[in-house]
Structure formats: C-alpha cells, structure tokens
Amino acid sequence: MSVAYVDSSALIAITLDEPGASGLARHLNACARLVSSNLLEAELRSTFAREHVDFREHVVAGIDWILPDRPLTEELTSVLEAGYLRGADLWHLATALYISPHPGALTVATLDVRQASVAAVLGFRVMGVSQDS
C-alpha cells in the first residue's frame, strides 16, 4: 500500500495503545504516504484532552494535509448514497474521494466499523477494522 487516508480512530488507537493498534501501526508505517483532512488534528486534540494525554506533535508530523479548495458537495452526496455516516466520518470519506476519485487507488485506515463499511461500498481498500495486534 503506497497511500493511506488516515481517520482519527486509527491514530487514537495507536497513540493510546488500544487492542489491534500495533498491527495497524505496522501497516501504516509500510505506507509511502499518509494523508488526511486537517479535521484529524482537532479530533486528536479533543480526544487527548478528554483522556488527559499530552498531544504529541510527532503523531501528525508525517501526514500530508488535504485542504479542499472547493465545496465537497459531490463527494458528500456520493458517500451518503453509499451509507449514512455522522458529520466527521462523512467529511473524512468525502475528503478521501476528493483526492482519489477512483477509490480503489487509496486505502482508508479506520477502526470505525460503520465508516469502514461505507468506505468499502465506495470501493476504497480498508485497513484497521479487522487488524490483529
């Protein structure tokens, strides 16, 4: 896998050493490039604050931020046609579609079962949900 779109659930699990996270970390480390929406940083900082864990800049240091230069109306519609997701999960998959209109060329790293299911329906390769530690 050369490029993976990283959802917050994946990095939170790795950082907090949750079950399955070590296998996911190995897979992400094997990727040539990690990308995500800059929403990821807000989600990470919020979770770390809730868990009383210091935010570590290195957690996001290797991620290329995707900053859409237009509304993602088309992508949001496509994601919702594939299945319902809450706002942040919807935004992450819409951003993934924005950078990869041909979903089979991109892997989505997530531990969110619903998000993984919708990503698979869209045609993305998915890593994380069934990872073993």
| pLDDT tops 60 at residue 5 | yes
The pLDDT score that the predictor gives to residue 133 is 37
The values of phi and psi at residue 114, to 5°, are -65, -45
| pLDDT tops 90 at residue 10 | yes
The pLDDT score that the predictor gives to residue 132 is 40
Closest CA to 3 of 130, 113, 103, 88: 103
The pLDDT score that the predictor gives to residue 131 is 41
**What is the CATH T-level fold of the domain 3-127, as seen in this structure?**
Rossmann fold (3.40.50)
pLDDT band at 19 (very low <50, low <70, confident <90, very high): confident
User: Residue 80 and residue 63: Cα distance in Å, rounded?
Assistant: 26
Q: What angle do CA 94, 97, 98 make, to 5 degrees?
A: 85
Whether 5 and 99 have beta carbons less than 8 Å apart is answered as: yes
User: Residue 130 and residue 109: Cα distance in Å, rounded?
Assistant: 11
pLDDT tens string 87-120: 999 999 999 999 998 999 999 999 999 999 999 9
User: Residue 10 and residue 5: Cα distance in Å, rounded?
Assistant: 10
User: Residue 7 and residue 36: Cα distance in Å, rounded?
Assistant: 7
Closest CA to 126 of 81, 93, 82: 93
